Amino acid sequence: MRYLVLTDIHSNLQAFDAVMADAEALGYDEVLVLGDLVGYGADPAAVIDRTLALDPVAMIRGNHDKVCCGLESPAMFNDAARAAAEWTAGTLDPARLDVLRSLPKGPLQVNGGEIEICHGAPFDEDYYVFDDQDASRAADAATRRICLFGHTHLPAVYATAQDPVVASEEPSDELKLPMSGPVLLNVGSVGQPRDGDPRAAYGLFDQAQGRIRLRRVPYDVKAAQDAILKAGLPAWLAIRLERGQ
């Protein structure tokens, strides 16, 4: 089974479309969506519709999905995130808001196999896994050997020293996972990368081969920025896209 792994799309239609064009050219079998379809960007309705059209085999909510549909308060968000959440809530129709409300909480097991997905961490869907200590806690809480997560907008791979992840000879963006031992994978953000690289990020996980490709795809950043500014959203949300912040 070859999984297309998407997370943190954040209403960025231009990035989403570029990622899907790349993924379709490479091929995949099923889709996993790890939360935060909306927030920050200017095209929440189109992103929700396109994501549902993929018929994901597993999809969970993110913190922005919860806030934008009214399940949680935006009180903990910074000013720009709160403004975007409030704009999104006022822009989406009731049916699409219901879609966000219906998204399950992670972690969620995938097809009863060795994979689970979460937005933040297996022990807390809103927790940020930023370092080895966070990853150790997450691995201890995981109920499956391989845990795919998002939330930080930073590509990351965590495994034990005894069972390391190694780079494949070809292609250059492919990693070989250990056949035993826990593995945590973050493929990075489709719609708002924060690792200094503005290109959209996603993953292709080949379960049978035990390999993952961490893909980066250029997209029309200016069009996404123009859409944000036209919608009246905070300018910083447009600026950060070109900086990968």
Instruction: Quickly count: other Cβ atoms within 10 Å of residue 140's Cβ.
Output: 10
Q: Where are the domains of the chain?
A: 2-243
pLDDT for 169 equals 67
Q: What is residue 50's three-state secondary structure?
A: helix
In whole angstroms, what is the distance from residue 114 CA to residue 112 CA?
7
Which strands form 146-149's sheet, in the order they lie side by side? 108-109, 115-117, 146-149, 183-186, 156-159
Q: What is residue 225's three-state secondary structure?
A: helix
Q: Give the CA-trace dihedral at 155, 161, 167, 168, to 10 degrees.
A: -130
Contact status, residue 130 vs residue 150, Cβ threshold 8 Å: no
pTM across the whole model: 0.96
* Mean pLDDT, each 10-residue run in order, the chain (245 residues): 97 98 98 98 98 98 98 94 97 98 97 92 97 94 96 95 80 88 96 98 95 96 98 98 96
pLDDT for 67 equals 98
pLDDT for 163 equals 83
Tokens of 26: 């490479």
Q: Which CATH class is domain 2-243?
A: alpha beta
pLDDT for 64 equals 98
